[in-house]
Chain A
């Protein structure tokens, strides 16, 4: 078990070498990731959004007035705020064609046996139970808008760790909930955070008490299943002083022809001396608009690490943020974006240094191929008085063909003299000599490309747990196949 948690530099080795497994995954893709289970959803409020829908969602969840008011205020802001004028083209989203609330199973299930068969079938195709057998310490899986399955090892409960779906946490821990919900990302933050706040459902809530260090990662899978269904999960993680946690979310989605919207909000509080790593493996089908707001508040000598891997979706706009509020706080954002045909991934990072001796690292790796477009968009801000702060930004882009495009939009706003900042950016085209060399050793052009891409992102992939590194590489091999010529 312990070995799996180590950052294994050989993770790639097992994977890229394992052509057999990879090609099997390729063959199974449609059945593995592109299926849609048929079962009757228990509650579906239909398509479109208005105040009535927002009220209904709140009512169905038996919420208190404060939450209803928050939702309504957020809805108001959502209606008033214009679409962002920068980034990807969002003009094709038809908000009235999206499902805002679908409840697949009415009861929370604590054990695998209690999960309905059709849903279980879906998860089995995704390999979730296997992942659990291997190293999952606790599972909270979101299916449709509601968490239907969760399981937390008893020893953690004994340690005071709370790992729940967000709806349950709202009911069971109202004080903690009200103290933090919407405080880091207020409902007026941006149009999509507002939409999420108005209609949020499900998501993950984690509280780690003082001094508790969780060595095993916690994880949750998210899936969209109902056509045209928006998924608006809400995640809140509070790491109390001196605590440590690694949370992983992995996404796969069925392939649908109509556009879907995924708009999540993730808020994280990292208290003094605590350490949080939040890893995302995003593989939405390529019709999903993935518009996510993620932000962490990092206190004195605390560490926040975002590891963000984006492979899927039609459009992604996501800029995980670390607000360094306490002296000595450290923020790190490592990201991968792989944009293929019809995809525009506008991803990046935000770091705001508000205290002295804070430090940050941003490392972005983006790849575009087959007409795909990837952009790095970053903001580094250092306020006056944040003396002795350090920041390093590295963004590397790899372009595989002439039809693809990559852009870098870095913004540095530095108002303090006594700081150290470094910014490196590189754009490279795939090297013909490398391809020739690999092919001269009997590799196919697709294998050669996939190998070069996996090497390019290796510095970030090695930060992932082994299984995820393998899954990511398998997905990359899969994505690269057929993208040549």
Chain B
């Protein structure tokens, strides 16, 4: 369904990703681990089409479509979603208003919802995911806490129901209670949409209690240095990333 082949990426003239290979099938959960600066977040931005990065070699394909030929918008409409580690703030833009635009852009014309019907759907989804209703009337991420921003990212995930959800450190900066709420939410969305694939980027094993990865990849210095199952997680927990590197 989703396939990265021999992907190398530059930012200006600096090489930041080298020969990445990755295949994700429908419904699979993949986890990316690796030290800070190893290229995990960069890879998510490249997949989404961030203009700061240039693909120098290789391909990213989704359902056999070459993503490099698609705009950021088209990639979203093809079914890729990134829950960002640091979602940007957009002052003055009402959340529910924005969310309806997002939702309707992903629906066929005859399924688009007018204001009041959408509001009803939004309230239901918010309730399911334990997102406080008052957040819906705030402005897009403006002055939201880190945890609130992440909740709103997950709400968007639930509305869009992508084929591939990339969760970029959805657990960072959260206390245990907030982590639980957010990952229970993701778990729930996954249960409702078993065909949805997930690419989890995380430093911490605790999230695997909620989402058990089928595959784990270790990323170091812009390369995937090891791929496998949960045994990689165990090794990292015992020895850290450094140990792996020297081996």
Chain A residues positioned under 8 Å from B97 (CB to CB): 10, 12-17
Inter-subunit contact B92/A455 (CB<8 Å): yes
Known pairs A16-B101, A443-B102; A452 contacts B93 (CB<8 A): yes
The answer for the CA separation of A436 and B87 in the assembled complex, in Å, is: 11
- Closest Cβ of chain A to B151, distance in Å, is 16
The answer for the CA separation of A295 and B57 in the assembled complex, in Å, is: 64
Known pairs A445-B73, A451-B98; A437 contacts B90 (CB<8 A): yes
Inter-subunit contact A443/B51 (CB<8 Å): no
> How many residues belonging to B are interface residues under a CB distance threshold of 8 Å?
38
Q: State whether the Cβ of A431 lies closer than 8 Å to any Cβ in chain B.
A: yes
The one of A10, A15, A16, A440 in contact with B82, judged by C-beta atoms closer than 8 angstroms, is A440
Interface residues of A in 1-49 (CB under 8 A from B): 9-10, 12-20
- Closest Cβ of chain B to A214, distance in Å, is 30
Known pairs A432-B51, A455-B139; A438 contacts B94 (CB<8 A): no
Inter-subunit contact B140/A442 (CB<8 Å): no
Most chain A beta carbons < 10 A, residue from B49, B82, B90, B91: B90
Nearest B-chain residue to A10, judged by Cβ: B94
Chain B residues positioned under 8 Å from A442 (CB to CB): 73, 76-77, 102, 105-106, 160
The one of B88, B94, B106, B112 in contact with A13, judged by C-beta atoms closer than 8 angstroms, is B94
- B192-205 to A contact mask, C-beta < 8 Å, 1/0: 00000000000000
Inter-subunit contact A437/B94 (CB<8 Å): no
The one of A10, A433, A456, A457 in contact with B88, judged by C-beta atoms closer than 8 angstroms, is A433
The answer for the CA separation of A437 and B84 in the assembled complex, in Å, is: 9
Chain B residues positioned under 8 Å from A14 (CB to CB): 97, 115
- Closest Cβ of chain B to A143, distance in Å, is 34
Chain A residues positioned under 8 Å from B140 (CB to CB): 455
Q: State whether the Cβ of A444 lies closer than 8 Å to any Cβ in chain B.
A: yes
Chain B residues positioned under 8 Å from A438 (CB to CB): 90, 98
Chain A residues positioned under 8 Å from B50 (CB to CB): 436
Number of A-B residue pairs, CB cutoff 8 Å, is 105
Inter-subunit contact A455/B93 (CB<8 Å): yes
Chain B residues positioned under 8 Å from A9 (CB to CB): 94
Q: State whether the Cβ of B72 lies closer than 8 Å to any Cβ in chain A.
A: yes
Known pairs A18-B115, A442-B73; A455 contacts B90 (CB<8 A): yes
Inter-subunit contact B71/A439 (CB<8 Å): yes
The one of A12, A439, A444, A445 in contact with B94, judged by C-beta atoms closer than 8 angstroms, is A12
Inter-subunit contact B94/A441 (CB<8 Å): no
Nearest A-chain residue to B52, judged by Cβ: A432
Interface residues of A in 425-471 (CB under 8 A from B): 431-434, 436-445, 447, 451-452, 454-459
Nearest A-chain residue to B72, judged by Cβ: A439
Nearest A-chain residue to B89, judged by Cβ: A434
Most chain A beta carbons < 10 A, residue from B87, B96, B97, B112: B97
Q: State whether the Cβ of B40 lies closer than 8 Å to any Cβ in chain A.
A: no
The one of A437, A441, A444, A454 in contact with B92, judged by C-beta atoms closer than 8 angstroms, is A454
Q: State whether the Cβ of B41 lies closer than 8 Å to any Cβ in chain A.
A: no
The one of A13, A432, A440 in contact with B76, judged by C-beta atoms closer than 8 angstroms, is A440
Chain B residues positioned under 8 Å from A451 (CB to CB): 90, 93, 98, 101
Most chain B beta carbons < 10 A, residue from A19, A439, A452: A439
Chain A residues positioned under 8 Å from B154 (CB to CB): none
Inter-subunit contact A440/B72 (CB<8 Å): yes
The answer for the CA separation of A255 and B87 in the assembled complex, in Å, is: 42
The answer for the CA separation of A444 and B82 in the assembled complex, in Å, is: 17
Inter-subunit contact B90/A19 (CB<8 Å): no
In addition to A14-B115, A434-B90, A444-B105, 14 A-B residue pairs with Cβ atoms within 8 Å of each other are A10-B97, A16-B93, A16-B98, A17-B118, A19-B104, A434-B88, A441-B105, A441-B160, A442-B73, A442-B76, A442-B105, A455-B139, A455-B140, A458-B92
15 residue pairs from A and B, CB less than 8 Å apart? A12-B92, A17-B100, A19-B101, A19-B105, A436-B50, A437-B87, A437-B88, A439-B72, A439-B73, A440-B48, A440-B72, A445-B73, A455-B139, A458-B91, A459-B92
Q: 5 nearest interchain CB pairs?
A: A455-B92, A458-B92, A13-B97, A455-B93, A439-B72
Interfacial residues, chain B to chain A (CB-CB below 8 A)? 48-51, 71-73, 75-77, 81-82, 84, 87-88, 90-94, 96-98, 100-102, 104-106, 112, 114-115, 118, 137, 139-140, 156, 160
